Amino acid sequence: NAGVTQTPKFRILKIGQSMTLQCTQDMNHNYMYWYRQDPGMGLKLIYYSVGAGITDKGEVPNGYNVSRSTTEDFPLRLELAAPSQTSVYFCASSLDRPKGYGYTFGSGTRLTVV
């Protein structure tokens, strides 16, 4: 199994540009998450989803959008990139919260907005 796959691994955007960070998992996990990690900091939750068609805001949702049309995919959209969105973005998934499963993280996307 590939686990959680994120693409691209690196990207440089100009201010005002848009892009979609892709996240896909092949473990049939219901729960999926997007986090951002600023240099030397912890992870901040952007959006999460508990199943196809269901999404909810996390701690820092402004400037981002998500969709969950399938169980496997959870793309993160940046509409108008700003320098404050320079960060490393991690996607994660989990089978089922109530059973206490751990979360599997992708390898991350390093985004720079200039």
Partner 1 sequence: ELKVEQNPLFLSMQEGKNYTIYCNYSTTSDRLYWYRQDPGKSLESLFVLLSNGAVKQEGRLMASLDTKARLSTLHITAAVHDLSATYFCAGLLKNTDKLIFGTGTRLQVFP
Task: Out of 59, 69, 70, 114, point to the residue binding partner 1 (CB under 8 A).
Answer: 59
- Fill in the amino acid letter for 16: G
The residue type at 72: E
Contact 60, 74 (CB under 8 A): no
Size of the site for partner 1 (CB under 8 A): 25
Is 56 among the residues that bind partner 1 (CB under 8 A)? yes
Cα separation, 113 vs 84, in Å, equals 8
> Smaller CB distance to partner 1: residue 14 or 39?
39
Strand 10-13 to 109-113 pairing:
parallel
Max intra-chain CA distance, the chain: 42
Binding segment toward partner 1, per CB under 8 A, in 7-15, 17-25, 40-48, 70-78: 40-48
Q: Does 50 bind partner 1 (CB under 8 A)?
A: yes
* Chain residues in the site for partner 1 (CB under 8 A): 31, 33, 35, 41-45, 48, 50, 56, 58-59, 90, 92, 97, 100-108
